[in-house]
Amino acid sequence: MKKITALILALALALSVSACTIERVDEGGSNGNAAGSGGNAQTSGNREVTVYSWGEYIDESLIEEFEAQTGITVNYRTVPSNEELYSQLQQGAISPDVVVPSDYMISQLIEEGWLQPLDYSKIPNFDKIADRFKNLSYDPENQYTVPYTWGTLGLIYNTTMVDEPITSWSAMFDDTAAGNVILIDNSRDAFGLALRYLGYSVNTTDENEIREAAALVADAWSRGVYQGKTMDGIFQIMEGGNAAIGTYYAGDFLSMYENNPDLAFALPREGTNLYVDAMCIPKGAENKENAEKFINFMCSTQAGLKNCEEIWYSSPLLSVREELDPETANDPYAYPTDDVYAKTESFACLSPEIRELYNSEWIRLLK
């Protein structure tokens, strides 16, 4: 496995050797037309494609390769969370051709009419996707999505700052490392891990269970258990030894571990979330054909393998798994065993009423 020093996309540095643009989009992000307000726009001579994804989530040399092969300029930008992506789309602050949301947000975007069907005849590499990642609950007829990566949420901890190996979500709520714990900065994951700790489904619609989970997080917040909350900022914090415990994704842990071998990862015994992020094209996309070319390129074996070796996330491409070195292909964090799968649960799209409960409890927590 190639050893790469993780880049911090949150610094919003532009590549000086490429025509692509990489930048962090803040709440007052770039102006544009609402992604969901138009029809199925097609390419009209434009030689560009605008992609909105997450930080630390692509081998940037692949952008250069795609540009060289196609002559299409990639405008690659990042957002910190699914909720922020949704907010930016709602506000009409961004005009993406490709977005890479997670399963539960994909369901919501489909439900609300933000995505357009893909022309799979122009994405022949979709055939390389493993069957287990097709026709999933968020897109049961495979009309709107092409899986990009998948993985699990777990605990990352610094072995020099805690006395014993961590095996439970309880470390996010008790005094194991009070004042040195990083809370993940989105309500679905933060309350989801609390729900698993309490023995509830992450997709519960029982308002009392959700409030109980929110209260557990709020109590830890008020007691000073958390040093703070962040998404991609956890890279710098954990790699720099500036916190004892955080929660993030298995692929990101593997990147952090390269820069700080004192770090360890645990899939808590109560079980965890198994997620899939997928590439989609919003309605009103100005460069749909270019977007489908980009998606197809990212699903090629060569690009998929290179991407996997750079960002460490698990690939849904069968051809990539076959090409990985055995150590990586059998890594228990990247490709969990069946007994671990049995204790995972994927997020489903919740009703508007339950989503509003999540939002209100999250806002109340942060007051």
Q: Which whole number is the average pLDDT over 217-236?
A: 95
12: closest CA among 1, 25, 3?
25
Of 241, 243, 230, 225, give the one whose Cα is nearest residue 176: 225
Residue 29: pLDDT over 90: no
Give CA–CA dist 192/214, Å, rounded.
9
**304-328, pLDDT tens digit by residue?**
999 998 988 899 999 999 999 888 8
Dihedral sign, Cα of residue 347, residue 348, residue 353, residue 354: negative
Supply the pLDDT for residue 45.
67
Task: Please check whether residue 105 is in contact with residue 114, taking contact to mean a CB–CB distance below 8 angstroms.
Answer: no
Q: What is the tens place of the pLDDT at every residue in 338-351?
A: 888 888 888 888 99
